[in-house]
Amino acid sequence: MQQEHSGIEIGLYTLGDMEPDPHTGKAIGAYQRTKEIIEAAKLADEAGLDVFGVGEHHRLDYATSAPPVVLAAIAQATKRIKLTSATTVLGTVDPIRLFEDFATLDLLSDGRAEIIAGRGAFVESFPLFGYDINDYDTLFSEHLQLFLKLNENERISWDGHFRSSLRNAEIAPRPLQKQLPLWVGVGGTPESAARAGRLGVGMTIAILSGDQLRFKPLVDLYRETGAEAGHPLETLKVGITGHGYIAKTAQQALDEFYPYHSNYWSYLHRQRGMDFSLSRADFEQMTAPEMALFVGSPQQIAEKILKQHELFGNQRFMVQMDIGGLPYKKVAESIELLAAEVAPIVRKETSK
């Protein structure tokens, strides 16, 4: 059973990163991290949030290399919340296996499965699964076309460049939903936005820093391209994802989240051989009303989501809180505030 709420959908996503806590220097392992992800999803479901996403990385410092497996476990611990990948690196997964995994998840979850498919900001999956990074875009394009065909047909014939041909192949099982909802994850390239529009699939934009206004042309391009391709406007759905943290007061939120947000970005830069230091002043500037970082009191976050909705007309907002080694206790407190104090305001205003 899926959620029934008016207004935009509000949810969470996680990448399962396992950075050391900046206060203790200790990192939790994949066992505890996975358990906490399931607990967070269960809490989000019980609190009435709409969607929970699990990302894909193939590294020792991330716990979620197999999102459909984690989501299947979450499906058994939840009742209503939609379950999505966030994102699936589509270029390095066989589209048939992907469809079968998520169709099975859809059956296990009573029709709650979705996929956000992206090209991938991390590229470790290319050598890991025997793909050539030089085929980065063409792999994504071909796999996306094949997946859309799988989603529409029980039997298919197919000729492509990167995999063996198919002749009247049976694609099973079929999902409980008529089709698996598919969103294309977009980082900032106009080509990706236009492709999502042409295909008539949802578009999810990751906005992690900077002024949100700079992403408005992507949303406009997506809708314009979709309309030109003959897709009804109401089917061209936009989701926005980003980082955030909520506490009872703005000061508490800033004080508690700054060390972890700074730690997250410093850790990512070190992994890529770069030095990075985020000052408190720069961090606070990133949380300004027009900026992408959602850190503050419930009232501030509600107002910011509504301003974002005014800008993009998006149907979904998803936030990642559990970054940089943030302890689960703090994540849970922030989830509860999002569900109890932010979501009612946003739903009421966006359902008008």
Per-10-residue mean pLDDT, the chain, length 352: 77 97 97 98 98 97 97 98 97 98 98 96 92 96 98 97 96 98 95 96 96 97 98 97 98 98 92 88 97 98 98 98 98 98 98 90
**What confidence score (pLDDT) does residue 96 get?**
98
**What confidence score (pLDDT) does residue 352 get?**
85
What is residue 329's DSSP assignment?
H
Contact 55, 15 (CB under 8 A): yes
Contact 103, 169 (CB under 8 A): no
pTM above the 0.75 mark?
yes
Q: What is the rounded distance in angstroms from the CA atom of residue 166 to the CA atom of residue 277?
A: 51
**What confidence score (pLDDT) does residue 3 get?**
53
Torsion of Cα atoms, 310 then 312 then 317 then 323, to 10°? -110
Q: What is the rounded distance in angstroms from the CA atom of residue 305 to the CA atom of residue 127?
A: 39
Q: What is the rounded distance in angstroms from the CA atom of residue 147 to the CA atom of residue 144?
A: 5
